Amino acid sequence: MSVRQNQIVEIVKSEQPITSEQVAERLNLTRAALRADLSILTMTGILEARPNVGYSMTGRMPTNMIADFINNILVKDIKTRPVVVNVDTSVYDCVVNLFLEDVGTIFVQSGGYLAGVVSRKDFLKYAIGRTDLDRIPVSMVMTRMPNIVTLEDNETLARAIAKMVEHQVDCIPVIGRDAPGDGRERFKITGRISKTGIITVIHEMLED
């Protein structure tokens, strides 16, 4: 939307229903100067025009705005707090963590760097028929580096969704790259993008 169209939407939002004369007045413009923008906003379904009443919001968002949002918003703006444990944490303590933190995936670090990812199914697979969960470290059940799908701050939400679908995972660690002296690349965990998080962000956008 153009700056002018955004201004019109803001005016209609706060004063609806409002006539085109009144919108023109607020913007110090003539009605004729507004005609094109008002018809675009009506045709795209953002505004609705009722004869003898005026313009009001329809509450609908055009599909291209949703696509714009998904293609432009960045991982750094929507990532949430990661739940991280150390490689030597027991499977039992990780499961307790899963419930306490209300998440489905836990990230595992070693020496402060990403070492693994562990999800509900990993725990279930391991736990069936066993009683030694408090003695087994999470490193025995996790998916390890370098097989971990990661995201970086400047990737888009569209990219995050594509990675989740392509690799069939529910949650992806957001990482910062760190190259210590030995030349081996290591990743700091800076956040998480989960399916639940994405649904929450889209819900908030639609509520707005």
Q: By CB under 6 A, which span of 7-15, 52-60, 118-126, 181-189 interacts with ligand ADP?
A: 118-126
Which residues between 87 and 106 bind ligand ADP (CB under 6 A)? 104-105
201 binds ligand ADP (CB under 6 A): no
Based on CB atoms, which residue is closest to ligand ADP, 49 or 133? 133
Contacts with 57 (C-beta within 8 Å, 6 or more apart), sequence order: 9, 12, 13, 16, 46, 47, 48
Between CA 19 and CA 24 the distance in angstroms is: 9
Q: Which stretch binds ligand ADP (CB under 6 A): 13-21, 57-65, 115-123, 197-205?
A: 115-123
Does position 194 interact with ligand ADP (CB under 6 A)? The reply is no
Q: In whole angstroms, how close is the CB of 184 to ligand ADP at the nearest point?
A: 19
Q: Does residue 120 touch ligand ADP according to CB under 6 A?
A: yes
Nearest residue to ligand ADP on Cβ basis: 121
Looking at the Cβ atoms of 23 and 172, the one nearer to ligand ADP is 172
Residues 20-59 that bind ligand ADP (CB under 6 A): none
Distance of alpha carbon 181 from alpha carbon 164, whole angstroms: 32
Tokens of 148: 């971990």
* Interface with ligand ADP, residue 155, by CB under 6 A: no
Cα first-last separation, the chain: 16
Q: How far is the CB of 205 from ligand ADP (least distance, A)?
A: 24
In a 13 Å sphere around the CA of 58, the CA atoms on its Cβ side amount to 13
Cis amide bond preceding 173, omega within 30: no
16, two tokens: 């609806």
Both structure tokens of 175: 């990482």
Using CB atoms within 10 Å of the CB of residue 130, give its burial: 0 to 12 exposed, 13 to 18 middle, 19+ buried: exposed
- 171 scored as a contact of ligand ADP (CB under 6 A): yes
The binding site for ligand ADP (CB under 6 A) comprises 104-105, 117-122, 143, 147-149, 168-172
